[in-house]
Amino acid sequence: MIIEYVNGPAAVNDTLVFPVVSGGLAAMMDRLPEAFRGVATSATEQARFEAKAGTVFETYVADGASTRRMLLVGAGSGDDMGYERAGAALSVRLIASGVTSAFADLTGASATGAARFALGASLRGWRIDRYRTRLPANQKATLERVAIVGAAAGSEAAWDQLRAVAEGVAFTRELVSEPANIIYPQSFVERCEVLSAAGVHVTSYDEHQMAEFGMGALLGVGQGSARPPRLLTLEYKGEGAPDGAPILLVGKGVTFDTGGISIKPALGMEDMKWDMGGAGAVAGALLALAKRGAPVHVVGVCALAENMPDGNAQRPGDIVTTMSGQTVEVINTDAEGRLVLCDAMTWAQRRYKPEVMVDLATLTGAIIMSLGRDHAGIFSNDDTLTRELVVAGLSVEEKLWRFPLNATYDKLIDSQIADMKNVGPRDGGSITAAQFLQRYVEPGVKWAHLDIAGMVWSDKDLPIAAKGATGYGVRLLDAFVMAHGVKSEATA
């Protein structure tokens, strides 16, 4: 979908779109088509249209000898999120309506509100239909263009920044949506090579190099697959970035998770193609930051493996030596995410010497039992870092809820024959998983772990995402890195 800012009137085939704030219909009456003004108030009252964010009132108005479709889309209180929901509502209603072009009047919206309207339209208009060869004509996407008029000064520049974020979210959604016969460790790396054109330095390491690094845990997860693991690094340093250590983002990239020898039930196993959602979010965030020319220094590290059962697969009871030198008794091969992350975290900390490290992972089903699908969990050794991430998430409606870490939980993963087990008891499963990862945080590093298992995929339509891959984490990381980078530059 193309979104552009224009100065002229609507084209003859454009659907007219007017965002409305709650109680604001009367104030914008002179901008509505003359043929509709006389009945607008009574028509919207009968339809119970109150301009709540994301709601739609649709009608048709006379335009000379023809008839034109018109939408009033609710922007709620008129804040940025309200306009984002209004833009998303436009896409929901028009994406497969037969309409090819829409003309949105953003007069009265703030510069950021109008830009967020464009973002909402772009995010909600994303689809992946490439494998649907028999899609009925009335279900195919038709909306190709949204023209925005009347936006406040600065809106187009704000949209140029948010367009980059939308591209990052779309990239992540594509990676997460693809089946495991298409996206596996090596093909994930190949997809990410497009980031080079945006100024990201892309490097990958194969299983032989990882063996030299001593990554026994990551390699153990992938040893049952015909598709070997990969370690991918994505480094971006924008013009004006502060000197010093980069912000480090680490993503779990299990491209398919059968559970290994501790095999999962067959029902729903197909969903495990999205077990690389953490790595997908890291890649999308790096793309967004690079495309917007952010003045930050960020490194993304993706730990990529496929967890399969075969004659060479890792067994319950095996002991592996991690790159840190610590040993792990593998009690459950389906607790593999922490095994791929721990080696990637060790390698990345030793290579880049970060002050701040954030990892993202679809790590535990227990986090879904705790939080459902409205929040991701956050675990951290630093209160300030936690606050920064929570605030960043709230600003883009990618919410986080903090969980505890302490010695009582930590001792639950002690092993009798190794330094630790890869699982604790059933109770507190998300916490003991985070305690495992904390054992691989180098002294002095401010660290946060985001368990996003309930957030990367949705079985129902969401305000800014159709059911399927959500792209969760890209906007959160983008907002966090931008705020943290600006703060770092100001205090440098």
- Given the residues 264, 353, 399, 439, the one annotated as active site: 264
pLDDT digits (tens, 9 = 90+) for 35-88: 899 899 999 999 999 999 999 999 999 877 788 999 999 999 999 999 999 999
Spatial separation of the C-alpha atoms in residues 307 and 315, rounded to whole Å: 12
Residue 492: pLDDT band by 50, 70, 90 thresholds?
very low
Reading the block at residue 121, the tokens are 């339209």
Spatial separation of the C-alpha atoms in residues 170 and 464, rounded to whole Å: 12
Q: Which residues are CB-neighbours of 294 under 8 A, at least 6 positions away?
A: 236, 238, 481, 482, 485
Helix 277-291 crosses helix 474-491 at what angle (to 10 degrees)? 50
**Pairing mode, if any, of strands 446-451 and 376-380?**
antiparallel
For the chain, list the domains and their CATH numbers. Answer: 2-153 (3.40.220.10), 163-491 (3.40.630.10)
- CB count, 10 Å around CB of 367? 28
- High-pLDDT (> 70) share of the chain, %: 98
Spatial separation of the C-alpha atoms in residues 174 and 437, rounded to whole Å: 28
Q: Is residue 145 flagged as an active site residue? A: no
Reading the block at residue 168, the tokens are 């990052």
pLDDT in the model for residue 252: 98
- Given the residues 68, 116, 338, 446, the one annotated as active site: 338
pLDDT digits (tens, 9 = 90+) for 469-482: 999 999 999 999 99
What is the rounded average pLDDT for all residues in the chain? 96
pTM, whole model, 2 decimals?
0.97
Spatial separation of the C-alpha atoms in residues 392 and 467, rounded to whole Å: 24
pLDDT digits (tens, 9 = 90+) for 257-308: 999 999 999 999 999 999 999 999 999 999 999 999 999 999 999 999 999 9
pLDDT digits (tens, 9 = 90+) for 317-341: 999 999 999 999 999 999 999 999 9
Reading the block at residue 26, the tokens are 């009367």
SS3 402: strand
H-helix or E-strand spanning residue 91: helix 80-94
Q: Which residues are CB-neighbours of 46 under 8 A, at least 6 positions away?
A: none
Phi/psi of residue 418, each to 5°?
-140, 180
CA atoms within 13 A on the CB side of 169: 29
Reading the block at residue 390, the tokens are 């929570």
Q: Which of 114, 481, 458 is nearest to 284 (CA)?
A: 481
Q: Is residue 252 flagged as an active site residue? A: no
Spatial separation of the C-alpha atoms in residues 376 and 358, rounded to whole Å: 14
Q: Which of 221, 376, 237 is nearest to 314 (CA)?
A: 221
pLDDT digits (tens, 9 = 90+) for 217-257: 999 999 999 999 999 999 999 999 999 999 999 999 999 99
DSSP 8-class letter at 243: S
**Pairing mode, if any, of strands 145-149 and 297-307?**
unpaired
Site of tokens 């009945």 = 39
pLDDT digits (tens, 9 = 90+) for 140-183: 999 999 999 999 999 999 999 999 999 999 999 999 999 999 99
SS3 31: helix
